[in-house]
Structure 1
Amino acid sequence: MTPFDITLLAFAGFAAGTLNAIAGGGTIFTFSALMAVGVPPVAANATSAAAVVVGSVASTVAYRREVLAALRRLLPLCAISALGGAAGAFLLLRSGDQAFRALVPWLLLAATMLFAAAPLIQKAVQRMAAAGQRRGGFGLAVPVQGLVSVYGGYFGAGMGVMMLASLSLTEDSDYHAINAAKNLMSIVLQLIAVVVFIASGIVRYEISLLIAAASIAGGWIGVVAARRVAESHVRALVIGSGLALSAWYFLT
């Protein structure tokens, strides 16, 4: 890697950690930076997934009380998340760079739209959780979570918003319990997907560690920034960048 590549990747990791601490959406930047420095699309996605999984672990630990309280009930969803994450990872490996590259602009656009809709989705989840309604039964959670997990193992950007919405259809606890369940499902499927990627030999370890270290530093800064910068400004930056990147990949 050149000094410019290292700087770009470190900046992307730092920005991702900061943005995830404030509003989310950091995966869009890490994946795009990896593509920009010449990492093939499939390897870029796998390397980005390996780097950001650290943040998911930290989020799950922060919600450990809620996770432990619902762990037994969530075990079937953990199992389907693991299967879906593995299926998505294998699907990514089988699709190859050419097919995946053709999907990249559509995936980035979809992730950006999901990110833009996240506040509305979160408010709807909070309202439904506050109402204490059971919205479809546990049986609906398994296939829905399976589909979301396949997407998460395949690409991942925007997965958290999708999962938050899908879990709200079946969970009748408060918002933080739903969010905790989302974090647990995320770490399970991401870890399985990363294991598949590592076994395939496509993860660029040195780049992944660089991004992970920078994202941890960005996460600390993000906590401070979250108290000083309006979330609406940050969201506008992420949405604008996501749309610009989508347009770039559509045109190139």
Structure 2
Amino acid sequence: MEPVSLVVLLVMGTLAGAINAAVGSGSLLTLPVLMALGIPPGVAVRTNTVGMFFSTLGSCLGYRREIAAEKQHLMPLTVTATVGATAGALLLLVSPASALDVVVPVLIVVALVMVVFQKRLTTAIRAGKDRRAEREGPREPGGTSSSGVTDPAASPGGESRTGIGAEGAGEDRTAEPSPLRSPALIGSLGAASVYGGYFTAAQGVLYLGILGIFTGRTMGSVNSIKNLLSLAVNLSAAAVYVIAFFVLDAEIVWLGSAAIALGALLGGFFGAHLAKRMPEWLLRGIIVVVALIALVRQVL
């Protein structure tokens, strides 16, 4: 690979790392450059994934405090993302390159709709949950009230389980489980991770849309989770591709990966600090623009 090409990949990797930290889809910068250099699509995806893993590593370092604050809820999501990404990476090894032309535009449109209509979709999901709760009706046995909250005075002997001096005093027994453990969220992110392991580009937009809808939180507040999941996906996919390189002779352009990796690590770290300072409207606007650019590039 020519020195000029490596410099271009280094610069694109830096920019892509910063974009990945903020919204995802940084691969939309590096993948076209790799293919413009004459690298076949499948080889370009593998080369890019190995390099862009370091952008997600840098992003997670930048968001390490936010990730630590959420860690008790993240294990199911991380495991699901890892399994899904591994399946997606294996799928890339055996599927024709032409499949990318069909799958990618559809998923980008889905992600774009999720981001643009996040609030409406979140409201619809919550309304559906409320209707299901109403249909279930009151549950009286065991001292449970019609609102679904256990009456502390209904414990054996009429003693309050939340009284002063009682074991577990101060514990909030009526707290709802974290939306990060919702089966619908975990299942949706698992499907998105199959795509992430298969192609990687625009996966961040897809994750932000899903996380925003099922948690009802702002894009900025779930960005740290998106970066951790992207790390799990890219690591899993990169591991599959590296093993395939040694076992199946699946080609990877290592110099290209190295140039992207160096830039992506720096861009991901500093991009994370920049993303934390972005207002919600700007972050959402950037996501929409990036997704539209991705869609145009895939269709044309």
Structure 1 length normalisation: TM-score? 0.74
2:297 aligns with 245
| Counterpart contact for 2:115–2:209, Cα < 8 Å | no
1:140 Cα offset (Å): 1.3
- Report the CA distance shift for 1:57/1:125 in structure 2 as closer, same or farther (over 3 A): farther
Write the distance in 2 (CA, Å) between the matches of 1:199 and 1:177: 35
1:47 Cα offset (Å): 1.2
Is it true that 1:191 corresponds to 2:240 in the alignment? Answer: no
Deviations 1:207-226 (A, max 9, x none): 111112234455688788x9
2:148 aligns with none
Write the distance in 1 (CA, Å) between the matches of 2:264 and 2:38: 20
CA RMSD of aligned residues (A): 3.9
Write the distance in 1 (CA, Å) between the matches of 2:78 and 2:268: 26
| Counterpart contact for 1:50–1:194, Cα < 8 Å | yes
Q: Which has the larger radius of gyration?
A: 2
Write the distance in 1 (CA, Å) between the matches of 2:216 and 2:258: 38
| Counterpart contact for 2:14–2:260, Cα < 8 Å | yes
* Highest RCO, 1 vs 2 (Cα 8 Å, sep ≥ 6): 2
Q: Which amino acid aligns with 2:183?
A: G
Q: Alignment partner of 1:170: what SS?
A: helix
1:109 Cα offset (Å): 3.9
Q: Which amino acid aligns with 1:94?
A: V
Q: Which amino acid aligns with 1:199?
A: I
| Counterpart contact for 2:208–2:226, Cα < 8 Å | yes
Q: Which amino acid aligns with 1:145?
A: L
Q: Is the helix fraction higher in 1 or 2?
A: 1
Is it true that 1:120 corresponds to 2:116 in the alignment? Answer: yes
1:205 aligns with 254
Percent identity, aligned pairs only, is 28
Structure 2 length normalisation: TM-score? 0.63
Q: Could you tell me which runs of 5 or more consecutive residues in structure 1 were left unpaired when the two chains were aligned.
A: none
Deviations 1:54-108 (A, max 9, x none): 121222222222322221222111111110010001011111xxx22x1344455
- Which one of the candidate residues 193, 207, 215 is aligned to 1:163? 207
| Counterpart contact for 1:114–1:161, Cα < 8 Å | no
Q: Which amino acid aligns with 2:186?
A: V
| Counterpart contact for 1:137–1:170, Cα < 8 Å | no
Q: Which amino acid aligns with 2:56?
A: S
Tell me whether 115-124 or 22-31 shows the greater mean CA deviation. Answer: 115-124
| Counterpart contact for 1:10–1:210, Cα < 8 Å | yes
